């Protein structure tokens, strides 16, 4: 399993803090993000495109993840998408970079 690229990880941790996600939940949110990025890389989906989230949640359903786990994954990935909108006035840090960074490491 690939790790979250450092640039994305830093931005995501900032997002978790800004949204006041409880510290005890942060590892779970990061886990869902890591799984999502891996899923997108494996199936060649663009991780910054929200359409990929539905495909990911369908995969979680196939793997018998609970409704609570699916909701937590949705929340975690939604925060990931916000990184791009929070930085809309700058270069979008999610656009193509996530998949490129994952390919370089793989």
**Each residue's pLDDT tens digit, 53-90:** 999 999 999 999 999 999 999 999 999 999 976 654 44
Q: According to the model, what pLDDT value does residue 95 have?
A: 53
pTM above 0.85, yes or no: no
Beta carbons within 10 angstroms of residue 12's beta carbon? 21
């Amino acid at each position: 399993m690939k790790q979250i690229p450092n640039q994305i990880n830093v931005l995501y941790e900032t997002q978790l803090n800004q949204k006041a996600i409880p510290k005890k939940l942060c590892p779970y949110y990061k886990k869902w993000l890591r799984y999502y990025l891996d899923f997108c890389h494996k199936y060649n989906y663009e991780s910054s495109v929200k359409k990929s989230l539905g495909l990911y949640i369908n995969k979680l359903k196939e793997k018998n993840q609970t409704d609570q786990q699916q909701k937590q994954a949705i929340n975690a990935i939604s925060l990931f998408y916000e990184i791009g909108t929070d930085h809309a006035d700058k270069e979008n840090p999610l656009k193509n970079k996530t998949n490129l960074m994952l390919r370089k490491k793989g």
